[in-house]
Structure 1
Amino acid sequence: MTISTPTAPAGRRPLDPAGHDGSPADPGCGTPLPGGRPGLVHDLVAGFARTDPHRTAVVAAGRSIDYRTLDGWAGRIAARLTAAGIGRGSRVGVLAAPSTGMVAAVLGVLRAGAAFVPVDPANPPLRTAELLDGAGVAAVVTAGDVGSGTLPGVPVVPADAEEHTDTPAGPPAGAAPDDPAYVIHTSGSTGRPKGVLVEHGQLAASTLARRLVYPGAPVFLLVSPLAFDSSMAGLWGTLTAGGTLVVATSEEVRDPEALVRIVERHAVTMLLCVPSLYRVVLDAADRLGPTRLRSLDTVVVAGEPLPPELMNRHFALRGGPVALVNEYGPTEATVWASCRRYDEPGAVSVGRPVPGARLYVLDEQQRPVPPGCEGELYIGGAGVARGYLGLPEATARAFHDDPFAPAPGGRMYRTGDLVRWNADGMLDFLGRRDHQVKIRGHRIELGHVEARLCELPGVREAVVVPDAEHTALAGYVLAPSRPAAALLRTRLAELLPAVMVPARITVLDAFPRTVNGKADRAALTALPEPVSVSVPTGAPADGPPATAGATAQPGPQTADGDLTARVGDAWRDVLAVDTVPRDVNFFDLGGHSLAMFQLQDALEARTGTRPSVVALFRHTTVTAQAELIRTGGADADAARGGDRHAAARRARALRAERQRAGREAAK
């Protein structure tokens, strides 16, 4: 049953779609934000530089800077940008490795009155050029080692060079709430990324809501790349509260044991990450000792569904009170729109709206559905972004006038997510209405990847689907010329970030079809995987030329051969493949960053040595990893020492504990 759009009695606010009266206790309506305009984020940070200049602002790679140093550094970057003609309304690319300079760079762009456009340095050069070009940036600020890359012909300001110069820091250029603050790119169904434009007012409102939900000055561990929208939560939620932002480097994020040590070393109180990363952080804490996480008082997970098993592990591991918060929200709603706090295990939901947000569950005619019924989620309120940069048609499809707003002029965003209000007044997430998926926390339009595949020579049609665990993609193509699957994957990797490149591409003569002639995605996922493994052209970066016939087969012949075979067995355990070539890159066989953590466990069980994750990222073939273990390289942890069987027992015990926790969660 559907109900008609509610109308408000005289003198009252409109009813919201859940049938409530719009009061703060209403599940569809977040607590109103305090009256008056919230302070702009860069102004609030500058305020701490004046009132508490020696308070630690940012820590990264073993060094720290206080608020006065950060403010002065950002001011000098802003002065350089101003001298280059950058001002209000300009857009400035930020290509920065995680560092103190990264934070100074984005703050400097805002001080200059411009909007920052973060681009991940790990992107292939063509992707970087495409994003910066499409955003129409007038300058680029770099920080850290970001490589030469391909930059548009605009002024480039190296942030690190401005840290200690004599450049006078000019006054902030000033910004209005409706001026753009940043542009973050998301996947687009047409094969081209969409830049979500967020204004200062929306960023200020979202950040104020965060300070209301999480009061105090946190010591926050930032693990998200700057180009990932959850970084905005940690960056501005921390610095506008006078907290300390601890920035993990790219290598530290790859090594969960390093993250555990950072939490202990810097007495981190708050962490936000995707559930899949938190799982491996807990694995690392199991090995190193859970007391190393004792400083944490809040762990926030977002970007992926929260598994009940992970919730149970969180509360089982921690001896003291540590809240677990499940957040939900798209980039188009300025990072977040709802959350639920857990102080003990409970039923998983995405909770209630955050302050200033309004959540509507609507049917296909944009009419409210009753509690308990499935509908599509629309988000209204102060955090709804302006739209997609330079894409008016896409903006019109996703952003609508809000007929339920308490005042005229409100807008709402159509999320494409299917939800329902449950009996507790919480929002249950049920899935997607389209072909958008989350892979390791990254939002990906399958049509985006399919369109890029169809641009490759010889490809006539393409279908991309997620794997069962939603940790990687699989691609299927029709190509009459039968190009090598590995060659297609290599060319696609030049156009897309790694998370969007299918782990496997299968070339077919025909697709199974539905009755209406469309490719049958379910039938494709049921196809058996190819028996043979395609070997990429060229040599791996860390080994000799690839040889298709050289596989890591079990059965000792020599000591080195036995070790290589055991490494190959570990790869088979993780990748679930029958054949493992010795000199093929782990990622070209379907591996990904999370699978690398599983490989670390498997290698310990099979060889008695636990190489660091950073070492495994540097040595990505069976041959290279066997040599790393054989030589006891500096990157390998000393689980060696002749105690291989004890290490294997520890790994088996850890797996058994995970399985037990999963069974408990299933009950």
Structure 2
Amino acid sequence: MSDFGGPGPGTTDPQQHDGSWVDELLLHAGHDDAEPAVHIGERLDRAGLRREVVARHTELAEAGLRRGGSVALQLPPSLALLTHLLAAWRTGAQVILLDHRLTAHESDRALQRTAPQFLVRPAGPVRLGVLRGFHTVDAVAEPYPEGRPAASGHALVQLSSGSTGPSKVIGRTAADLVAEVHRYTLIPGMPGPGDRIVVLNSLIHAMGLMAGVLHSLHAGVEIVLPERMSADGILAAVAARTAPTVITGVPFHAQLLASVSAPPPLPHLVGAISAGESVRPGVSEAFAARYSVPLGEVYGMTETGVIAADLSGASRPATGRTAPGIEAKVVDGELLVRRPVSPYLGPAGPDRWADGWLRTRDAATLDPETGLLAVVGRLDSQVSVGGLKVDLTEVEWTLSELPGVREAVVVHDGAIEAYAVLDEQVTARAVEGLLAERVAGFKLPRRIHALTALPRTTTGKPVRDPAALRAAAQRSAAVPAAAVERV
């Protein structure tokens, strides 16, 4: 039995979509059939992609999927994921996107929460590797026991990234998706007809799905997934063709590429976009110095899609201007975004959505004249220590700027705790001393834990759940100096 039976409080139950928008907006969209469409292991032009989608559409229909039905896709990044997604939408079905890396327990819980009629998954074992950019898989559609047709008119159901707590079930209508695709076309600097986009983001979450896939199909941009997610693999994907190319990923990817000491000449690289979290200090400058192109930023949420963007990098430290059609305001330091209905499926408390406004829980400033939005951190990053206010984001950014610190997360877990990935020759005690020179004593972490890698969500965001971070610290505890307590 699912734990949501339809739209949350304040929502409507829109009419089921008929799938016609997929052909009109994405598969045809006025582009030439011979134009490159996707390069995921093999290169398909637009006519070839349509043939693949029609074949998957037929297979899903033969399995029993109908308009108003529901199907969960749990596939790794692949051509199969892209074509099954478009085929299911073309049917007029509700698509639930599940990450292929979930454990069996997590998958069972997600399927119980969403109760799809069908589950599309790989027909056989998939060799997972952290550096694989895509997979070649055969997919099979199977009935899911006790699954049911869509309980609402939402075309897309996603689970939030869960970087700060349990995932939320979020629904978006076809009209909402169409509106966001058009919104992206109005953002200066987005790739356009004849361009290429090398997508490093997860294809089942906001940026990778909306900008990397849907906008690209609509705008006539070739979608490229690198064979390997290493720096060399990403740069090889960029260099594979001479068309103007943009990279889109998360700050981790920008930092990885910025660390390449001598990248090859890439005259056709025209830009890069980071999303998911703020870029740590110095990364944008280092990236621009390495590749002579700006590192732009996009800010958004699973619940809303894109909220603000600046692909030129000129607005930094601000995030950018609010995207066309987005209505936002700042109340008591918190960013609120206008959403006429709740995006949540199932109970949604007024602490997240009320009276047509979604609380982002992000601290921000908004210039009413220019629309320039500066997201300065999470509201829950502001804690009280001995009656004194401490902004954990400030401490985290200061720690991240220190020499020898590759990346860091700072949380409050009864006390301020820091988790950092350090260069081999750097000790936690040395970092502690440098940090003490830069922030007041009451802001200093009680412990600095040296990790081999920060735990991350499926979208690439650092996990901020204290329990998960403690577990990561325990796994790294083979090094005696992995945690140094401040006296």
Report the AA paired with residue 342 of structure 1.
S
Structure 1 partner of 2:240 = 265
Match of 2:379 among 433, 446, 449: 433
SS of corresponding position for 1:420: strand
Structure 2 partner of 1:642 = none
8 Å CA contact retained: 1:96, 1:144 = no
Q: Deviations over 1:68-90 (max 9, x none)?
A: 22212212222222233323333
Matched, 1:337 2:291: no
SS of corresponding position for 2:155: strand
Distance 1:594 1:263 in 2: 28
Distance 2:32 2:39 in 1: 17
Distance 2:296 2:164 in 1: 34
Stretches of structure 1 that go unaligned for 5 or more consecutive residues are: 1-38, 150-157, 163-174, 364-374, 402-410, 437-464, 476-519, 530-569, 579-587, 596-619, 622-667
Within 5 Å, give how 1:291-330 maps onto structure 2. Answer: 291-292=265-266, 294-319=267-292, 322-330=293-301
8 Å CA contact retained: 1:196, 1:385 = no
SS of corresponding position for 1:287: coil
8 Å CA contact retained: 2:73, 2:98 = yes
Structure 1 or 2: larger helix share?
1
Within 5 Å, give how 1:403-552 maps onto structure 2. Answer: 411-422=356-367, 425-434=371-380, 469=400, 521=413, 523=415, 525=417
8 Å CA contact retained: 1:78, 1:109 = yes
Matched, 1:590 2:451: yes
Match of 1:398 among 352, 361, 373: 352
Distance 2:398 2:287 in 1: 26
Structure 1 partner of 2:93 = 114
> Offset at 1:191?
6.2
8 Å CA contact retained: 2:203, 2:212 = no
SS of corresponding position for 1:329: strand
Structure 2 partner of 1:65 = 44
> Offset at 1:347?
3.6
SS of corresponding position for 1:387: coil
Matched, 1:287 2:262: yes
Closer, same or farther: CA 327–145 of 1 in aligned 2, 3 Å: farther
Report the AA paired with residue 324 of structure 2.
P
Closer, same or farther: CA 242–206 of 1 in aligned 2, 3 Å: same
Match of 2:323 among 333, 354, 358: 354
Structure 2 partner of 1:47 = 28
Structure 1 partner of 2:344 = 388
Q: Deviations over 1:93-125 (max 9, x none)?
A: 112222222211211111111122222222222
> Offset at 1:346?
5.6
Within 5 Å, give how 1:632-643 maps onto structure 2. Answer: none
Structure 1 partner of 2:436 = none
Distance 1:362 1:263 in 2: 42
Distance 1:266 1:117 in 2: 34
Identity %: 23
Instruction: Let me know the Cα RMSD of the aligned residues.
Output: 4.0
Distance 1:297 1:327 in 2: 17
Q: Which has the larger radius of gyration?
A: 1
Q: Which has the higher contact order (CA 8 A, sep 6+)?
A: 2
Closer, same or farther: CA 279–42 of 1 in aligned 2, 3 Å: farther
Match of 2:198 among 191, 216, 221: 221
Stretches of structure 2 that go unaligned for 5 or more consecutive residues are: 1-19, 129-135, 141-149, 383-395, 401-405, 431-448, 457-474, 477-487
Closer, same or farther: CA 414–275 of 1 in aligned 2, 3 Å: same
Q: Deviations over 1:536-593 (max 9, x none)?
A: xxxxxxxxxxxxxxxxxxxxxxxxxxxxxxxxxx985478599xxxxxxxxx983227
Distance 2:450 2:365 in 1: 39
8 Å CA contact retained: 2:72, 2:97 = yes
Structure 2 partner of 1:275 = 251
- TM-score (structure 1 length as normaliser): 0.51
Match of 1:244 among 222, 245, 260: 222
Match of 2:69 among 80, 90, 98: 90
Structure 2 partner of 1:31 = none
- TM-score (structure 2 length as normaliser): 0.68
8 Å CA contact retained: 2:254, 2:287 = no
Closer, same or farther: CA 215–274 of 1 in aligned 2, 3 Å: closer
Report the AA paired with residue 172 of structure 2.
V
8 Å CA contact retained: 2:250, 2:277 = yes
Report the AA paired with residue 348 of structure 2.
E
Report the AA paired with residue 296 of structure 1.
L
Structure 2 partner of 1:13 = none
Distance 1:385 1:208 in 2: 20
Structure 1 partner of 2:155 = 181
Structure 1 or 2: larger strand share?
2
SS of corresponding position for 1:141: strand
